[in-house]
Structure 1
Amino acid sequence: MYHYRSCPFCAYTRSAMKHIDIEVEERDIARNPAYRAELIKGGGRAQVPCLRIESKGKVRWLYESQDIVNYLQRHAAQTADHNQTL
């Protein structure tokens, strides 16, 4: 997830990740200009938070904090369901 520490929307998504108990690599665009450049090149804008989702050879950039949290909740639930059936 591309973020920066003082962003309240980023703090919300980090808090939700902790609550959901899911780990996501965090890339601070304020501390590392290369991450900012990646975000702009891949997603088209320097807006944070942004979750880069790679699935089935395709990349999707999810920008809105609530959309990110919803996606992570669904992903965690699907993973839990899959693990229960194994």
Structure 2
Amino acid sequence: MKNNLLPSLAGVLVSLFVVWWLHGFLLVDRCLDSGGAINHKTNLCVGANEQIIELATSSTMLVIYCVVIMAVSLLTGRLLRKLLKS
């Protein structure tokens, strides 16, 4: 049972890390596209006149995250299973 559970758990953890990185990347991209700049001390999107631009997570981004989680989790799990059988 351990051999079956470990690749799946690793796949989920890797996919969560990938989505965390992707979310940060997409928010920075949206901030720059809207004419803002990232304040690295506060990690906020700042526009003209030091106004904070609020970036909401759209439903499209949530769908992308779900697809990425499923794909990365499955691929990582399969790769680890193949590596552990070798």
Q: What's the TM-score once normalised by structure 2's chain length? A: 0.35
- Structure ranking higher on relative contact order (CA contacts 8 Å, 6+ apart): 2
Q: Give the greater-gyration-radius structure (CA).
A: 2
Q: What's the TM-score once normalised by structure 1's chain length? A: 0.35
